Amino acid sequence: MSTEHHEPIDRGAIGLSRLINISDGVFAVAMTFLAFTIRLPAIAPDTVRPPFSQTLAQMLPQIYMVGIAFVACARFWVIHLRIFSFMRRADGAVTGLNLIGLLTLVLLPISGDFVAAYSQEPIAVALFAANMALIGGANMAIWVVASRRGLLNESATRRDVRDGHWLGGLSTGVFVLSIPMCFVNVKAAKAMWLAMILIIFMYRTVEEHKHKPAKA
């Protein structure tokens, strides 16, 4: 009779690993497809192509929007990475919320295409902001559920939980607040997104410097 001892399988850990893998893949595809929303201005068949500088000037709003979208999406990926790095397992609620978040993420190239083509149209910019807010909201919901259900590992400190709530809430909140602003002033709404990115960058820089171990 065989007396081999088999280690118990941690099905929660396996599920967590698969969630991370599929999430990274969807983030990568969505961020890559943002580049395809940039298009050369259309010209009539019998029209002389305008100078390069004029064409580039016409494309700058598209490039700006793609840049903002990419940086914001990258920020949401960092938040997602941070959330799952603190989790020891995933349950059904986290799995469901993550899949909802991925659904909103795959819509990003579509809303990005709208805002690239109609960069000054309030409804197009508002749809993009709503899409980003849904992505951030899904991340925020995952963090709240994981922290309240005891799914975080021992390395997650109170400061980590606080930062997760604060940074996730800021990112999502700015996009939510920018939706009505789109119908007042489109440029101001876009400026809110840029300001949010800069604030988060400065906050993370200050926090890392503050908690950096002193040299002997």
Q: Give the CATH number for residue 171.
A: 1.20.1410
What is the reported pLDDT for 11?
A: 54
Q: Taking residues 136-152, what's their average pLDDT?
A: 88
Residue 158 lies in a domain: yes
Residue 4 lies in a domain: no
Question: In 2-91, which ranges are continuous DSSP H helix?
Answer: 11-33, 52-85
Residue 51 lies in a domain: no
Residue 162 lies in a domain: yes
- Tokens standing for residue 111: 């809303």
Element (H, E) at 36: none
Domain total of the chain = 1
Residue 6 lies in a domain: no
Which domain range does residue 78 map to? 11-37+58-210
CA distances from 125 to 1, 20, 112, 171 (A): 69, 30, 9, 17
Residue 112 lies in a domain: yes
Residue 216 lies in a domain: no
Backbone φ, ψ for residue 176 (5° rounding)? -65, -45
What is the reported pLDDT for 12?
A: 55
d(CA 209, CA 75) in angstroms, rounded, equals 19
Please provide the size of the chain in residues. 216
- Computed over every residue of the chain, the mean pLDDT equals 82
CA distances from 149 to 94, 104, 145, 161 (A): 10, 24, 6, 13
Q: Is residue 8 predicted with pLDDT exceeding 70? A: no
Q: Which residues contact 216 (CB under 8 A, 6 or more apart)?
A: none
What is the reported pLDDT for 26?
A: 92
Instruction: Give the pLDDT band of residue 215 (cuts 50, 70, 90).
Output: low
Among 56-70, 115-129, 162-176, 200-214, where is mean pLDDT lowest?
200-214
Residue 96 lies in a domain: yes
Closest among 117, 126, 102, 95 to 12, alpha carbons compared: 95
What is the reported pLDDT for 64?
A: 82
Instruction: Report the share of the chain in percent with pLDDT over 70.
Output: 88
> How far out from the chain centre does Cα 177 lie?
17
Closest among 24, 157, 11, 154 to 89, alpha carbons compared: 11
What is the reported pLDDT for 7?
A: 47
Q: Taking residues 3-13, what's their average pLDDT?
A: 52
